[in-house]
Chain A
Amino acid sequence: QVQLQQWGAGLLKPSESLSLTCAVYGGSFSGYYWNWIRQSPGKGLEWIGVINHDGNTNYNPSLERRVAISLDASKNQFSLRLDSMTAADTAIYYCSRGNGYDWGFYFDHWSQGSMVTVSS
């Protein structure tokens, strides 16, 4: 039974950086793609980026100047950093397992999500 559990700060001031970590329990870490996705009333579900077990990353072009995803394979954890946060980044953030191919995947397991609010 695969489970994803995330944690990190939930309230940030404008210009601060978001840092979230996701731990993966059960199942194999290799062979899958580890993603961050966010959801807001304004933009709906928005894919942020992915890292595979080799540490290769891809990011949403709209966010790639501000985002970094890293991996600690020894702990089955991966992390998100999003810089220069603004109110437009207020959303529920999820980590998720991608299943598919290097060029595309669907999301078969999700974390419980956490609300991140950016406010002065």
Chain B
Amino acid sequence: GQNIDQPTEMTATEGAIVQINCTYQTSGFNGLFWYQQHAGEAPTFLSYNVLDGLEEKGRFSSFLSRSKGYSYLLLKELQMKDSASYLCAVFGNDYKLSFGAGTTVTVRA
């Protein structure tokens, strides 16, 4: 099975940087996804990591360490529209895409 942990809530100021951590314990690993979900809307894809290291995409970056079962999503130059839930999801050997509970990020002016 999959056990995916991430903090419940985080608050940051507009223009700041926030790092959302995700730890996982899985029976297999074929990649890790980060999704963004605004209230009342569907999750939308942000990033995918399958090899160790940092993937940068504009203001968002995602890091993976497979040996530590650890990933983080880094949001830079925060904007009010970044207030949302951020979901860590692991693709296991059984080809199931399993999600963590999500981290609600609140950006304050």
A and B found bound together? no
Binding site for A on B (CB under 8 A): none
Binding site for B on A (CB under 8 A): none
